[in-house]
């Protein structure tokens, strides 16, 4: 294949605004992962099982409704679905202010997970369509970098803000940040596409058989990663290291952003094997370190 020597433009105005909007929406999503279990345990005096389930129910809703995004877009249009689900996600952050029971929080988490899944699916699909084919790996790396950055910064802000100003401040902050993300998306022209889908319900229409093996690998990795995000604050408190939990996410954010910028170009040049296998080994080593070395340095090294 001939090369012209000129790179196709990646950072267009639309792509930049899309990644920024995604970043601000992912901050509240990840902020609640370590904060909500602690909130249930301390403020609502829930059981440890309920504290673990509060994030599980969010993710269950996200999985269920993510698969229905295409059907919603086919009926109402992608722009309407994205804006409606995004602004409903903003509203769910304020609903926590009125929730005084574990059941109430669980219901809000389920509704919030559904709204976030639909909005996130639409944003990521829109962002991926804006990437030039010759810079696919690099473009996807920047998108996932924003996701990881928001996902790592959010817990740090949430834990710090809850300790300094209380959980009400956390809920208001999350609403304002997600609102900022939606306003950024509203400032750009969102195409109102209606994807073609097969009528009626079928498992073949929901799942691609060829993607199952890779999806199972991602599922196992996500289970381990999600467990760390959910309980690292509780784990640090048990080790008498409560302040370390916040810096755990700072280190994770810095290293995640730095490696994503490198691995995207590695993917384009050397292929997926050169990036995926070392990443899995590195994550396994970090989890092992987190469980074995119960000190400040050990936890920060594990985060990296």
CB 167 within 8 A of CB 43: yes
If one compares 144 and 17, the residue with the highest pLDDT of the two is: 17
Domain-embedded: residue 269: yes
Encode pLDDT of 237-296 as tens digits.
788 877 787 788 778 778 877 787 777 677 777 877 888 888 888 888 888 888 887 788
pLDDT of amino acid 68:
84
Q: How many CB atoms lie within 10 A of CB 304?
A: 15
pLDDT tens column, 79-115: 889 999 999 999 999 999 999 999 999 999 999 999 9
The number of domains in the chain is: 1
Taking residue 228's Cβ as centre, other Cβ atoms within 10 Å add up to 19
- Domain range spanning residue 54? 13-188+212-303
Please tell me the predicted confidence (pLDDT) of residue 1.
Answer: 42
CATH of the domain at 163: 1.20.1250.20
pLDDT in tens, 196-214: 766 655 555 556 677 778 8
Range in 202-211, 215-224, 226-235, 248-257 with the lowest mean pLDDT? 202-211
Rounded average pLDDT over 28-38: 90
As a dihedral over the C-alpha atoms of residue 20, residue 21, residue 26, residue 32, rounded to 10 degrees, the angle is 120
Cβ atoms of 162 and 39 closer than 8 Å: yes
Q: What is the pLDDT of residue 198?
A: 63
Contacts of 148 (CB under 8 A, 6+ apart): 253, 256, 257, 260
- Indicate the range of 64-78, 160-174, 176-190 predicted with least confidence: 64-78
Residue 263 lies inside a defined structural domain of this protein: yes
Give the C-alpha separation, 27 to 212, whole Å. Answer: 29
Residue 194 lies in a domain: no
Least confident of 21-30, 119-128, 129-138, 151-160: 129-138
Domain membership of residue 292 (yes or no) is yes
| Residue 7 domain flag | no
Q: Is 262 helix (H, G, I), strand (E, B) or coil?
A: helix
136-145 burial by CB neighbour count: b if 16+ within 10 A, else e? Answer: ebbbbbbbbb
Give residue 118's pLDDT. Answer: 93
Which has more pLDDT, 10 or 166? 166
- 193 or 47, higher pLDDT: 47
pLDDT of residue 119: 92
**pLDDT for res 114:** 94
Is the pLDDT at 6 greater than 80, yes or no? Answer: no
Pair of tokens at residue 31? 């902020």
Q: Is residue 202 part of a domain?
A: no
| pLDDT (average), residues 221-243 | 78
Q: Which has the minimum average pLDDT: 70-84, 124-138, 166-180, 279-293?
A: 124-138
| Residue 6 is assigned to a structural domain of this protein | no
In the chain, what percentage of residues exceed pLDDT 90? 25
Name the residue with tokens 């196709």: 8
More confident residue, 65 or 2: 65
Residue 205, domain member (yes or no): no
Mean pLDDT of the chain: 83
184-197 mean pLDDT: 78
């Amino acid at each position: 294949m001939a090369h012209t020597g000129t790179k196709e433009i990646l950072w267009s105005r639309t792509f930049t605004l899309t990644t920024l909007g995604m970043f601000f929406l992912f901050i509240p999503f990840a902020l609640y992962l370590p904060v909500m279990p602690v909130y249930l345990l301390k403020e609502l005096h829930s059981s440890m099982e309920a504290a673990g389930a509060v994030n599980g129910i969010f993710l269950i809703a996200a999985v269920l409704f993510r698969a229905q995004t295409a059907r919603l877009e086919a009926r109402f249009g992608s722009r309407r679905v994205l804006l409606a689900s995004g602004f409903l996600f903003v509203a769910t952050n304020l609903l926590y202010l009125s929730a005084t029971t574990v059941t109430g929080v669980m219901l809000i988490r389920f509704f919030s997970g559904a709204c976030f899944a639909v909005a996130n699916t639409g944003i990521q699909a829109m962002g991926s369509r804006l990437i030039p084919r010759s810079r696919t790996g690099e473009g996807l790396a920047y998108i996932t970098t924003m996701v990881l950055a928001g996902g790592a910064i959010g817990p740090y802000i949430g834990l710090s803000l809850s300790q300094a100003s209380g959980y009400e401040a956390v809920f208001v902050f999350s609403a304002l940040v997600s609102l900022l993300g939606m306003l950024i998306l509203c400032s750009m022209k969102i195409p109102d596409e209606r994807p073609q889908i097969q009528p009626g319900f079928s498992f073949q229409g929901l799942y691609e058989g060829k993607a199952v093996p890779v999806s199972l690998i991602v599922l196992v990795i996500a289970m381990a990663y999600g467990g760390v995000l959910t309980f690292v604050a509780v784990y640090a408190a048990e080790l008498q290291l409560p302040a370390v939990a916040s810096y755990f996410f700072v280190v994770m954010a810095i290293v995640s952003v730095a490696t994503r910028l490198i691995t995207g170009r590695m993917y384009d040049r050397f292929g997926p094997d050169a990036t995926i296998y070392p990443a899995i080994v590195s994550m396994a080593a970090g989890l092992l370190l987190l469980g074995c070395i119960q000190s400040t340095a050990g936890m920060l090294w594990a985060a990296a």
